[in-house]
Amino acid sequence: MPTIPLQASQLVVTTIFNSIESLGFNNIADKVFSDEQAESRQEANLNVSTKKFYTQGLKNLAQQDLHGAIKNFTATININPQFASAYNDRGVARYKLGYKQSAIEDLTTAIELNPYRAKYHSNRGFMLTRLKNYTAAIADYNSALLLNPNLAKTYFKRGTINLKIDDLVAAMADFESAIRINPDFGKAYFNRGITKYKLRDVQGGFEDFQKASELFKQQGKIEDHYDAVAKIKQLW
């Protein structure tokens, strides 16, 4: 396969960080792990009034009625100020409305109330990444992965920061971990391809872009598929 010299900047495009945004926050209905059983029981034992507001807030959030979600999560917190999930979910709604600082404050409160729930750390790490506070974001992703080492998206997000700051060895390890957990993770192959190219493994980068292209096509992610095809053409 002939290789054409390219500037690394031609491959490191804004889609790297856009791919973080497209992954979004951890699902509010994530599976509860063993260290989180106390909060799970707390949610189950909410009084009728609190449960009504919280459940409605979740519905609002699912329907993208963000102002309604904030209103109902705030009502939940007013009744039960120790309910960490309500702070997490209100933080997500606030972030989506652009209230980034108050969103981070909500996630910080959620973590203070329950430091053992990985998704709170991961969600705050996501917000801090978008504010370009990479050191704090990596610390949050580290905490999330200590609590649950099987979070493919969290490895991917941390790897994307490491790629952005040119810590290529760490980035490679993170993308490989993401792929090990989820072998169909197209974006992880795509970003690993960029990392390999920057490490001068042109053939490896080419193969990863091919794999990403195939996965994106299978999964109906047409724009991502064309991005990967464009990288293949650059390297061909």
Q: What is the pLDDT of residue 37?
A: 55
Report pTM.
0.82
Delineate the domains of the chain, giving CATH numbers in brackets. 1-25+134-236 (1.25.40.10), 37-115 (1.25.40.10)
Q: What is the pLDDT of residue 153?
A: 97
What is the distance, to the nearest Å, from the Cα of residue 173 to the centroid of all Cα atoms in its chain?
17
Per-position pLDDT tens, the chain of length 236: 444 334 444 444 334 444 444 456 765 434 333 445 555 555 555 688 889 999 999 999 999 999 999 999 999 999 999 999 999 999 999 999 999 999 999 999 999 999 999 999 999 999 999 999 999 999 999 999 999 999 999 999 999 999 999 999 999 999 999 999 999 999 999 999 999 999 999 999 999 999 999 999 999 999 999 999 999 988 87
Q: What is the pLDDT of residue 23?
A: 55
